[in-house]
Structure 1
Amino acid sequence: MRSPPAAASVPLVLAALLAQACAAPARTFRCPAHGGAPWRELTSDHFVLRTDLRAPEAAALVARLERLRAGVAATLPTPAPGAAEDEARVEVIAFRTDQEYRPFAPDGAEGYYLRYAGGPPRIVLSGAIDRRQRALLAHELTHHYLAGALRRQPRWFAEGLAVYMESLGDDPGVRALHVGAPPADRLARARASPVPARELLAWDGAAGARPALDDYAASWLLVHWLAHRRPDAFADLERRLAEGEAPARAWSAALPDLDPALPGALERLDRTLAEYARGPLEARRREADVPVAVGYFERAVAPVEVHAIRLALWQLGPRKGRAALEDEVREALVEDPAHPIALQYLSAMDKLDPAALARRSVAAHPDDPRAWTFLASALEGEAQAGAREAALRRAAELAPSNPAALHNLAQELLARGRSGEGLPFARRAAQIAPWSAPVLAGYAAVLSDLGRCGEAIPLQQRALDALPEREPAGARRELARGLDRYALQCQLARRLDAGPAPRP
């Protein structure tokens, strides 16, 4: 690995990159500027679709997305007041072909949903939408919607309800929707590999001894039984979770006959579910205000932003090698020599001075929050704290609805001992992104620093609920340690409030 060049040599490095041709001969992808399919962005009420599908296919997809969301909203609990106004648009990246999609997809994934601190939630899939992908969309939109409707989501509940809603993927495009139709593969697995209810209720998403698909199937079966055999208790459970009641307590209150503390109660539930799985399972018919026509605003996606999309997804698929990454970055820089995403990758690849590249990007794109975020990340150390804060403030001003921009500023202010200033930014980020574990945990940290541990604890619990299954075990342990710290903080505060113990 060569030594980092001096900042003065950066223009020469860029000049060398820009002198090379756009499309690499060995690659199947061709950027729009060099004859590839044009990309378009369609913005509707609840979605931003970016795709290289043809215009009629893109319009049909955004209409289907809005219909699916309408079906989800008609079936699931009503969000808390104000949550609908805070709901972030879901970004959907739809590649025109499976061949284009596979380099950016985890192995075996028909599509996937990204919930993280780096901006709005994002669904990625192949634009050739078949039944399985429609089911996936219904599944992931359920997760997105539930995040704004429920303050607590035990894993079995969230995944079971998301699978329950997958039948919306059969969307006939009419007002009457059918939900809860048993998916054949889930039902077969629930019959063949049952998960004891006691184990299922304790499922937290961490890797276990059994395949996760067993937990998904068992969760779906339990939700189906509750929805169709114990609807009043199920509605009570939903209400309690929406209010933030601890899942174990909510279960025992809504289903007192199945309280885990009662001897034999959960074993009786196991037998009931096994019998239920063998019988005919019905679907439920729901009327929904499914939009007949969907309005949207369409604009072209610049070729450099197509490269930026690919770079944002680069590490989520199979390894493509350094040469392929260099080609992608080079092509992006041909289109825009100061693009913040491309320059950030260039800095990391070639060990160039990130601050010099970030300043170049800010100068060229003063209204792009990504450039200011890049600059903030490049300004390290206490000596740069003021400039770093200013850059993060500018990013938040330019993107006031982006939870990442707000979260980053709140955490910077927290680190500088000014959690009171960071509080409104952390709160707003959590309102916009209740599906993001880092954002929720960041808000909890700010509250804890202000001595409000009682408010931090439920937020940290929600962060644990929201942590995706594929996250490293260390991320779960770190959140759990934070929860322990806040509990200890509250315990110590109660002791101080109680005063010294009386002398004997």
Structure 2
Amino acid sequence: MDLPRVALAAALLAAAPAARGQPADLETWVVVRTPSISLMTDAGVERGSEIAVSLERFRAVFAQLAPELELSSPAPIKLFAFRDAASFAPYKARREGRGVQILGQFLSHADGNYLTLNADPGHPAARAVIYHEFAHYLVRNNFPRVPLWFNEGLAEYYGTFAIEDGAAVIGRPVERHLAWLRRRGRIDPAAVLGASSASARGHDAEQAGELYAVSWLLVHHLLSGGVERLDQTAAYLGRVAAGEDSEEAFVEAFDLRLSTLAETLLDYARGERFATAAIPLDRLPPVTAESAAMAPAEVLFQLGDLLLHSGRREAAAAHFQLALDHRPEDPAAHAGLAWVRHLDGRLAEAEVLFDDARRLGLRDPLGWLWYGRHLLATLDLEPATAGELAVLAGDGEAGDRGARAARARDAFRRAVELAPDFAEAHAMLGYAHLFGAARPADGIPSLAHAVARLPSRPELVLFLVELHLKAGDVAGAEGWIARGLARRSPELAARAREEVERFTLLEAARKALDDGRIDDALALVDRAVELTSDPQLRRRLAARLAALQQLAGER
């Protein structure tokens, strides 16, 4: 054993701030697993199993919206069911305001998705919050360009999910929306159809009430309108995904005038009965739940991870430290504390803690992801295409930098092996092949997998374009621009086209240098400098241009 390293790690841990906020009754925590859900809880096996099974059934019911929906998560899902308000209070992502009681929250992050709720049977509304947010998550995974009204309306519709009399029921009326609609007596569908996330942030209470109430009512009306309305809804979503204006697409898909729609919806809201959908449980896939006790160190690591992704870094570090107090050789807790140190800018301490996590047999995919990010962030090496590597002499992978880049790729590869569906790990593995002399062909499949699983992340398509350029495949790069970027992000598409043009110029400059045509190379690199918008890359190219000019002057 490396005693100096162990001593240094012990000193670092001893110097850490005193841990605070250890949850009571650590030994009561269990994990409940169903086919697609793992739920951690201190509310007991029975309560935890009931919640996990209901969420599993919710997924199955949502899947019936469209057979092609992708329900498997591209990131780990961690669910925490706290037994009561006191147990939940230290782990809420935001403070409760006057008159506001937080019963459940959904935190979405590239590292994972974190669902928390108060499992006290006296707060059944907590479940509706989770159903609502879970529906948003499923919509985001499948329809990244869906209009705001449909996203919110669908989440409100499915937020009424309940198990009643042997059936899964959705579509119960939302009384607060009906009260608002009946009190208001008039609605403006055009304002709701044209709303965006950006515009909604400036809404006052009345505008927000209209957005949620009308969105819910419209979705309820459409989903209760039979097969024809469902087909029209699918056609509408297709038009919007293709870039058509939301209001125009709606009128065309449903063959409705907005003035007519307003009166139709108000009549619907005044009705006495609202159609609900009841699906017998025996028509849904059977669900089994298994449970296991959690070790105190595991509980503290998972709660620390939750706190970290809630933006509470100090409390997260305290929990990771507590985990190490319970089990000094816990590799996941070492990795968690290492990542906090990295985020705090204490990179040398992070390096030691990450090395210890590896030595202790790290098996947590998130820990390997953090380690790979740490290595890339401390690499002092810019991503570059093959043409840039040739022209920017000295920027290749060499010495310790090359070893660290290779270790980063290995870390991301380990994360993928431990969690094959973890799209962010695939994305980082592919991205890491942009650095230095790594073979781009080895990274393209991983990045293509991430692009398919994360449609709301167009920047990943840009990285894929850059990987193809690094491989010298201009046609492949242009293909991704045409089918993956042009519609989803015009700004990134323009940047990608700049990358292709610069690559073409630098490749030509490389060939000119190989042929001894320094003046031609000068002209080509000069053009590349002129079109480059990234300041750092522009400086690097300008420095290389100056070196070439000096070489030309010495001939």
Aligned position for 1:180: 171
- Paired-residue identity, %: 24
Q: How many Å apart are 1:442 and its aligned residue?
A: 1.6
The change in CA–CA distance for 1:149 and 1:237 in structure 2 (over 3 A counts) is same
**Amino acid paired to 1:424:** P
> 1:95 deviation in Å?
1.5
Deviation at 1:163, TM superposition (A): 0.7
Inter-CA distance 405–316: structure 2 relative to 1 (3 Å threshold)? closer
Amino acid paired to 1:208: G
In structure 2, distance between residues paired with 1:366 and 1:43: 22
Q: Is contact 1:88–1:433 with CA below 8 Å preserved after alignment?
A: no
Question: Which of 136, 140, 154 does residue 147 from structure 2 map onto?
Answer: 154
Contact 1:77 1:238 in 2 (8 A): no
CA distance in 1, matches of 2:247, 2:213: 20
Q: Distance in 2 between matches of 1:94 and 1:78?
A: 30
Task: Give per-residue Cα distances to partners, 1:311-363, cap 9 Å, x unaligned.
Answer: 222256697x95x5554232122134442113322455583512222111111
How far apart in 1 are the matches of 2:174 and 2:413? 48
Choose from 429, 432, 442 the match for 2:450: 429
For residues 101-500 of structure 1, the aligned pairs below 5 Å read 101-105=88-92, 106-107=94-95, 108-119=101-112, 121-129=113-121, 130-147=123-140, 149-150=142-143, 152-169=145-162, 171-172=163-164, 174-175=166-167, 177-192=168-183, 196-206=188-198, 207-211=201-205, 212-229=208-225, 232-239=228-235, 241=237, 245-246=241-242, 248=244, 252=248, 255-256=251-252, 265-290=257-282, 294-314=287-307, 322=314, 324=315, 327-337=318-328, 338=331, 339=333, 340-346=335-341, 348=343, 351=346, 353=348, 354-379=350-375, 380=378, 381-382=380-381, 383=401, 384-414=404-434, 420-433=441-454, 437-438=456-457, 441-443=459-461, 445-447=463-465, 450-451=477-478, 452-457=480-485, 461=488, 481-482=491-492, 485=495
The partner residue of 2:68 within 79, 83, 88 is 79
Q: CA deviation at 1:47?
A: 1.0
Question: Aligned equivalents of 1:432 and 1:201: distance in 2?
Answer: 28
3-state SS of 2:164 partner: coil
Letter aligned with residue 357 of structure 1: L
Query: CA 1:345 to 1:491, structure 2 compared with 1: closer, same or farther past 3 Å?
Result: closer
Residue segments in structure 1 that go unaligned for 5+ positions in a row:
1-5, 462-478, 493-504
- The Cα shift of 1:443 comes to 3.8
Q: Evaluate the alpha carbon distance shift between residue 328 and residue 254 of structure 1 in structure 2; reply closer, same or farther with a 3 A threshold.
A: closer
Cα distance, 1:251–1:350 mapped onto 2, change above 3 Å: closer
Report how far residue 385 of structure 1 moved: 2.4
2:60–2:285 Cα contact (<8 Å) kept: no
Cα deviation digits, residues 94-118 of structure 1 (max 9, x gap): 1222222222223443212233211
User: What TM-score comes out, normalization by structure 1 length?
Assistant: 0.75
The alpha-carbon distance between structure 1 residues 232 and 255, as it changes in their structure 2 partners (threshold 3 A), is farther
- How far, CA to CA, are the matches of 2:255 and 2:493 in structure 1? 25
Q: Secondary structure at the match of 1:181?
A: coil
Using the TM superposition, give the Cα deviation of residue 255 of structure 1 relative to its aligned residue in structure 2, in angstroms.
Answer: 4.1
| Paired AA for residue 454 in structure 1 | A
1:146-200 CA distances to partner (integer Å, 9 max, x unpaired)? Answer: 455546422211211111122213x21513x432221111222344567632222
In the superposition, the TM-score normalised over structure 2's length comes to 0.69
Deviation at 1:238, TM superposition (A): 1.9
Aligned to 2:9: 11
Residues 307 and 331 of structure 1 are in contact (CA less than 8 Å); yes or no, is this contact kept in structure 2? yes
Q: Is the 8 A contact 1:221 1:273 kept in 2?
A: yes
From the superposition, tell whether residues 40 and 429 of structure 1 become closer, same or farther in structure 2 (CA, over 3 Å). farther
- Contact kept, 8 Å, 2:131 with 2:161, in 1: the verdict is yes
Please list the CA deviations of residues 53-90 of structure 1 after superposition, one character each: whole Å capped at 9, or x if unmatched.
2122122222222232233233x12225xx45777774
Secondary structure of the corresponding residue to residue 248 of structure 1 = coil
Residue type at the aligned position of 1:300: A
CA distance in 2 between counterparts of 1:269 and 1:484 reads 39
Change (3 A) 1:38 1:445: same
Classify the secondary structure of the residue corresponding to 1:208: coil
The question of whether the paired residues in 2 share the 8 Å contact of 1:98 and 1:128 is answered with: yes
